[in-house]
Amino acid sequence: MQLTMRPAFQPAGMRRLFLVVGVALLALALGATLVFVGSRQRLAPPFGRAANGSVVVDVDGDLWVVDPAGGAPHRLDIGMGRSVAPVFSHDGTKFAFMSRPRIGVPSALFVANADGSEARSLTGGLRIATSDVAGITWSPDGSTLIFHSSDRGIDRLYRVGVDGSGLQAISDKTADRSYPTWSPDGQWIAYRMRPVDTIHKTYLAISRPDGSDERTITSAPDSKASFSGSQWTADSQRLVYFRSSEHGHVVGMANLAGTETLLSPPLEDSYNPVMSPDGLRVVISTSSAAAVVELNDPSKRLDLPGNVAGCGATWAPDATALIGLSYNCDELYWIPLDDLAAASKLQLPDGPINNIAWQRLAP
C-alpha cells in the first residue's frame, strides 16, 4: 500500500482541491528550529505502519511545516519559487514536487533530498501543464516517478528516473490519463482514463509501469471527479476509489476483475478515500462529515465529529490519528482516534490548503 492520499474532490460550488499525503522526508519542527531528517536515520519501511514525522502543508504555493502538537508553523523555503504537490518516497529519503517561478508559467518536476538540498529538475525541457496539483507517484523502490501532464489538451502519463534519466511518455493521445498511483508490488499503475471518443464514461484503468497491457477495471458516468486518487490495497489485488453515482458519489473497492464492493452507503455522498497504513481501514469524507470504515466489514465505521474532515483526511503513519481538512479546505485538525473529543485545530497561515504530506520515520 502506498501511503498517498489524493483527495481530489469537493462538493459542488467549492474550489477543487488536491491533497497529496506521502511519506515525507522533510523537517522535524523542534521549537523554532527545523531539524531535518537525513541519511543518519534508519529508513522507514516502504509500506505498513511507521513512526510519525512532520506534517508538511502547501498553503497557496508555499510549504509549511506544521506541528501536530499545536505549535507554530514554520515556512520551508527551498528556493524553488512556488512549490506545490510534495510527494515523498516511501523510505523517507527524497521528495518530489512541482515548482514554477510564478503563476502562469509552466511547472517542472523537481526532486530534493530530505533536508531540501540538491533540488533539481527531472523534466528538462518538458513544460508540465496541468490545472491539478496531484498526479505524482513513486515506484516502490524509489527509483522512478510517474506523473501526468497535458499535451496539447490531452493528459498523458510520463515516467522519469529519479536521476532525471529516461524521461518518456508512456501513454498516447487516445484518452486523457491522469492521477497515476503505483501498486505496492511494483507491477501496475492505476489511473483515471477518459477516452477522447467516449463522451459518457470515465474509467478506472491499470497498465504496466511502461504503459503496456492496459485494461479497464470499472467505469462511471462521465465525471471529472470519478477515480481521481485511487488507492491500492496492501496485496496489490484491489483498488479503493470514489465514483459518481445516481445520488452523488460512492466509495467502492474492486478487484482487478472489476468486481465491486461498496464501502459507503449508496445514498451517502462519499468521496476522497484514503487507506490506513495498516491496510485495514479507509477514511472517507462525506457531504456532512467523515468516517473511518473497515475494508472487510464496511458496516463497522467510526463517524468523525462535525467539520474536522469534510474536505479530506489523512492518516498518521502509525495509524493512531488523522489530520482532517475542514469543509472549506482552509483549516487543519488533529484527530486522535482514541479520543475524538480531543480533536484540535492546528496553526497555519491563512490561505487555501492545497497539499498535505506526513513524514514516515523508521519505528
- Give 248-287 pLDDT, tens digit per residue: 899 999 999 999 999 999 889 999 999 999 899 999 998 8
Q: What is the pLDDT of residue 47?
A: 81
Half-sphere exposure of 87 (CA within 13 A, CB side): 33
- Between 16 and 113, the more confident residue is 113
CATH-assigned architecture of domain 23-361: 6 Propeller (2.120)
Q: Cell match 472489476: residue?
A: 258
Question: What's the pLDDT score for residue 66?
Answer: 85
* Cα(176)–Cα(76) distance, integer angstroms: 34
pTM (2 d.p.): 0.86
Indicate the range of 23-32, 78-87, 99-108, 337-346 predicted with least confidence. 23-32
- Mean pLDDT over 195-204 rounds to 87
**Strand 353-361 to 23-24 pairing:** parallel
More confident residue, 269 or 47: 269
Q: Give residue 234's pLDDT.
A: 92
Which of 84-98, 216-230, 255-269, 336-350 has the weakest average pLDDT?
Answer: 84-98
- 157-163 mean pLDDT: 95
Q: Which residue has the higher pLDDT, 116 or 173?
A: 173
Q: Is the pLDDT of residue 148 over 80?
A: yes
pLDDT(363) > 50: yes
Tell me whether residue 351 is exposed, middle or buried, using C-beta atoms within 10 angstroms of its C-beta: 0 to 12, 13 to 18, 19 or more. middle
Please name which of 333, 330, 332 lies closest in space to residue 350, comparing C-alpha atoms.
330
Higher-pLDDT residue of 58 and 133 is 58
Tell me the pLDDT band of 85, cut-offs 50, 70 and 90. Answer: confident
Per-residue pLDDT at 26? 29
Does residue 348 have a pLDDT over 60? yes
3-class DSSP string for the chain? CCCCECCCCCCCCCCCCCCCECEECCCEEECCEEECCCCCCCCCCCCCCCEEEEEEEEECCEEEEECCCCCCCEEECCCCCEEEEEEECCCCCEEEEEEECCCCCCEEEEEEECCCCCCEECCCCCCECCCCCCCEEECCCCCEEEEEEEECCEEEEEEEECCCCCCEECCCCCEEEEEEEECCCCCCEEEEEEECCCCCEEEEEEECCCCCCCEEEEEEECCCCCCCCCEECCCCCEEEEEEEECCEEEEEEEECCCCEEECCCCCCCEEEEEECCCCCEEEEEECCCEEEEECCEEEEEEEECCCCCCCEEEECCCCCEEEEECCCCCCEEEEECCCHHHCEECCCCCCCEEEEEEEEECC
Q: Could you tell me the pLDDT band of residue 6, with boundaries at 50, 70 and 90?
A: very low
Q: What percent of the chain has pLDDT over 70?
A: 87
C-alpha–C-alpha distance, residues 49 and 87, integer Å:
18
Has residue 131 got a pLDDT over 70? no
Task: Look at 227 and 135; give whichever has higher pLDDT.
Answer: 227
pLDDT value, residue 13: 37
pLDDT for residue 72 is more than 50: yes
Per-residue pLDDT at 124 exceeds 70: yes
* Amino acid 132: pLDDT: 57
Given a cut of 50, whether residue 21 has pLDDT beyond it is no
pLDDT beyond 50 at 7: no
